[in-house]
Amino acid sequence: MKSVAAGVAASHPATARTGVRILQAGGSAADAAVGAVLACCVAETVYTGLGGGGFATYFEASTGAVTCLDFFVAVPGLDGDRKPESMVAVDVFFGGLPQTYSIGGASVAVPGIPAGLGEVHRRWGRLPWPEVVAPAAGLARTGVLLPAAHARTLESCAPALAYGEGAALYQPGGRLLQGDELLFHPGLATAMDALASDGPAVFYTGAYADVLVETVRAAGGTIGPADLAEYRVHETPVDHATMAGYRVHARHDLNRTVDTIGALPDDLSRPGRAPGVASALLNRGKQRLGDTTNVSVVDPEGNACVITTTLGLGAGVWLPGLGINLNSMLGEGELLTDDLVPGRRMSSYMCPLVVIAPDGGLTVAAGSAGASRIRTALVDTLLGVLVDGLSVPEAIARPRFHVVEDTVHAEAGCPPAELAALADAGWQIVEWPEINHYFGGVTAVGRAGAAGDPRRGGVGLLL
């Protein structure tokens, strides 16, 4: 059976090019994915950054082993010497409606991205750490062009991103950055250089740990030295479900993506499958804006590394002189569960996954942005590749539908026969006038090509 070509899929051309260059230099999938995610932290700061958290799923071709690392944000408060002050409420327009989010120092949870990337590299990297960090440091020195799709996200998220110090970066002179204008974060190159020379510990027990604590506490948050020093990357269980004879391996996320795939109808032919798929994808509760991004990499040996990261909306709390915005995850209402004690990981919708063929070989490495729409985007893409015979670019680009309560939200171009089948089954239908970033942002490398999601300005490059 055809093997997966080596390649990189990401949501920014600079991110994808960084991953490809690292593969060309002899790096593993892990090296390329780590380098690409660091590039995300420069080029995709409307979605992610060194102050956020994430998950990495790794497929080892020689053994068939699938591992998932959890480096999502942790609840602060281990020091026990501070109470959080009030958060800052901001209204963000999403789907044309204002939604209130909370940012500021009290929204900042313990970041995991530096530690997580360091652990991915330690386990599966081949190149020296400084060589993996260097491309992102180079991008930070020059800045990058903001894709039009990212500019549209910025427009939605401006009340949070252009808050405080962020105003000068995202809204210089009072005008929001537009597509193909330069996004530049002063000081970020300094942070990347220190990360290259000192390793991830620079943010947890090294020179920048005190800076992080002082900055967050001055803004009303509670992160202390113990929170940073005690942060650890966790290996989290991986489960699998079967789709069309292929095994889909991933962690159990807040949306239960693996369980959803297992609950899909046996007959997956179109258009009859639509009501059954809608029932499996049923999503309850308010839909929130999710600033997330994903990198998918396959190396020439067939190893795969998929890393999904996020800042939330960003807290609007910036590390002075370092160009790093911190996460706002404690202000994300749907992630606040009853068991959030200091040191505990927060919950997440993120679900980087790999698909294994009956012959044991890799078929697809994929992940998505989009909060509660991550599951929708991934399931539809996998149906496209594994069932409908589409290439990866075709499957990612085609119109999707997402289910909330009794309503199916359908992108422009969804097949009329499927919408009719859904309506006949009792679903309310809301047809969107365009393809929209609300419906997620998949990046994937597979036997049928590589692609980033056009909804997010994505790019897929083969080696």
**CB 40, CB 48: distance < 8 Å:** yes
> What's the average pLDDT block by block, 10 residues per block, for the chain (463 residues)?
86 98 98 98 97 98 97 96 93 75 96 98 98 98 97 92 95 96 98 98 98 98 98 98 97 94 94 94 66 94 97 96 97 72 93 96 96 94 97 97 93 96 96 91 94 95 94
CB-count burial class (<10 Å; 0-12, 13-18, 19+) for 394: middle
What's residue 372's pLDDT?
Answer: 86
457 belongs to a structural domain: no
What's residue 312's pLDDT?
Answer: 92
**CB 261, CB 379: distance < 8 Å:** yes
Query: Domain range holding 283?
Result: 7-448
455 belongs to a structural domain: no
**CB 55, CB 31: distance < 8 Å:** no
- In the chain, the number of structural domains is 1
**CB 342, CB 77: distance < 8 Å:** yes
C-alpha distances out from residue 389 to 347, 383, 385, 395, 440, Å = 34, 9, 5, 9, 21
49 belongs to a structural domain: yes
Q: What b/e readout covers 122-149, taking b as 16+ CB neighbours within 10 angstroms?
A: eebbbbebebbbbbbbebbeebbbbbeb
**CB 40, CB 140: distance < 8 Å:** no
pTM of the full structure: 0.97
What's residue 91's pLDDT?
Answer: 86
CB-count burial class (<10 Å; 0-12, 13-18, 19+) for 179: middle
122 belongs to a structural domain: yes
460 belongs to a structural domain: no
CATH code of 204's domain: 3.60.20.40
454 belongs to a structural domain: no
C-alpha distances out from residue 355 to 148, 185, 443, Å = 31, 37, 14
DSSP structural state of residue 320: T
181 belongs to a structural domain: yes
458 belongs to a structural domain: no
What's residue 286's pLDDT?
Answer: 58
